[in-house]
C-alpha cells in the first residue's frame, strides 16, 4: 500500500473518514469492555516531534501506542538536529529508516508538507498554524456518539478564524454538515479555505443569531500559541463573542458544546460553562485517544474488520 499521510481532513475520502469515526467508537467500546488486550503495533514505533507544547496531544498519542503494544519517542527541537538547522527533508529521510510512523506538532504547515514529501512512512499532522485535523476526528466522534449521524446538521464556530476553524470548515465538507462561522471583522478564516467549502459554510457577525437552532456550538481561545502579544487587543475585539449558557439557550434543546482545550474561563467561555451538562469537553478530550488509535491503525494496517 502506498504511503498515506494525514495532514488535513482532505487527505482522506469522506467514506474513509466515516470508517475512522466508527472504528474509533468500536476501539473505545472494546477498551472499556476488555481492557487494553488488542496489540497490533508490537515492535512498531511512533516518532513524536514537538515544536509546540502539548498536554492532550502528547498523552493521547503516547498512550495509544502503549496500549496497542508499540512505543512512542518524544522528540523536541532542542533534542534533535532540527534544532541545529538540519534540513527538514533530511530528518524525514533519516526517521523513515528507523520508525514506522511520525507525528508532528509544529508551526509551519508548509514545513510539515515538506517533511511528508520526503518521508517514506506515514506522517500525521498533530497541529500546525493552519490546521488541527486530529482534533476534528475526536470532535466528530463525540458528536456522533451522542447524537448519531452528523450529516445535514448545523454546527456553529464562534471566535477566531484560526487553525481549528479551518479544520471545522474541512469537516463540514467531508462529513456533509452546515457550519456557521461567527467572528469579528478582521479575524475571518482564510478566504481560499472558505471558497472551497462553497455553500457548506455561512459567515456571520452576531453570535446570538448564529447559534439559533444549532445542533452544536464550539469555540477556541482568542489568542493561540504565538499570538500572546496580541492578547489585550484580541480581548477587546472578541468581547462580544464569549460563549455563555444564555447563548446556548438560543440553540436547539439538545445542543452540544465542544472546546478543544485548554479553555480560558472568563474569556472565550463564561466561568461556569464547562459545568453545564451541554458541555461535553471531557468526553471530547478523551476521544483524542481513541480517534488517534483508529487513525494510526488505518495508516499502518489499512482497514480492520474486527
Residues labelled catalytic: 105, 132, 135, 220, 260, 288
Cβ atoms of 135 and 196 within 8 Å: the answer is: no
DSSP string, 189-223: PPHHHHHHHGGGEEEES-HHHHTTT-SEEEE--SS
Cβ atoms of 64 and 289 within 8 Å: the answer is: yes
Give the three-class secondary structure for 3.
Answer: coil
Alpha carbon distance 70, 134 (integer Å): 20
Nearest to 23 by CA among 295, 301, 299: 295
Cell output for 1: 500500500
CA 205 to chain centre: 24
Q: What is the 3-state secondary structure (H, E, C) of 106-165?
A: CCCHHHHHHHHHHCCCCEEECCCCCCCHHHHHHHHHHHHHHHCCCCCCEEEEECCCCHHH
Amino acid at each position: 500500500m502506498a504511503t498515506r499521510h494525514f495532514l488535513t481532513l482532505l487527505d482522506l475520502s469522506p467514506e474513509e473518514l466515516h470508517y475512522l469515526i466508527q472504528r474509533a467508537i468500536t476501539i473505545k467500546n472494546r477498551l472499556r469492555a476488555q481492557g487494553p488486550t488488542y496489540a497490533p503495533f508490537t515492535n512498531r514505533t511512533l516518532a513524536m516531534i514537538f515544536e509546540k507544547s502539548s498536554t492532550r496531544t502528547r498523552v493521547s498519542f503516547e498512550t495509544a501506542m502503549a496500549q496497542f503494544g508499540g512505543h512512542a519517542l518524544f522528540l523536541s527541537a532542542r533534542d534533535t538536529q532540527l534544532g541545529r538547522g538540519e534540513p527538514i527533508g533530511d530528518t524525514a529521510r533519516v526517521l523513515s529508516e528507523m520508525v514506522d510512523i511520525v507525528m508532528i506538532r509544529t508551526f509551519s504547515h508548509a514545513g510539515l508538507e515538506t517533511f511528508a514529501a520526503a518521508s517514506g512512512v506515514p506522517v500525521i499532522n498533530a497541529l500546525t498554524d493552519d490546521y488541527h485535523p486530529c482534533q476534528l476526528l475526536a470532535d466528530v466522534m463525540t458528536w456522533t456518539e451522542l447524537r448519531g449521524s452528523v450529516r445535514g446538521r448545523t454546527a456553529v464556530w464562534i471566535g477566531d478564524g484560526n487553525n481549528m476553524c479551518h479544520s471545522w470548515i474541512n469537516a463540514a465538507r467531508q462529513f456533509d454538515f452546515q457550519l456557521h462561522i461567527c467572528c469579528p471583522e478582521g479575524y475571518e478564516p482564510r478566504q481560499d479555505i472558505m471558497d472551497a467549502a462553497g455553500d457548506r459554510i455561512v459567515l456571520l457577525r452576531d453570535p446570538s443569531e448564529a447559534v439559533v437552532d444549532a445542533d452544536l456550538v464550539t469555540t477556541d481561545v482568542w489568542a493561540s500559541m504565538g499570538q500572546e502579544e496580541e492578547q489585550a487587543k484580541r480581548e477587546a475585539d472578541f468581547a462580544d463573542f464569549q460563549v455563555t449558557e444564555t447563548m446556548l439557550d438560543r440553540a436547539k434543546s439538545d445542543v452540544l458544546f465542544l472546546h478543544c482545550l485548554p479553555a480560558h474561563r472568563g474569556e472565550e467561555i463564561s466561568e461556569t460553562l464547562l459545568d453545564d451538562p451541554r458541555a461535553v469537553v471531557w468526553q471530547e478530550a478523551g476521544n483524542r485517544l481513541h480517534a488517534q488509535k483508529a487513525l494510526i491503525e488505518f495508516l499502518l494496517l489499512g482497514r480492520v474488520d474486527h
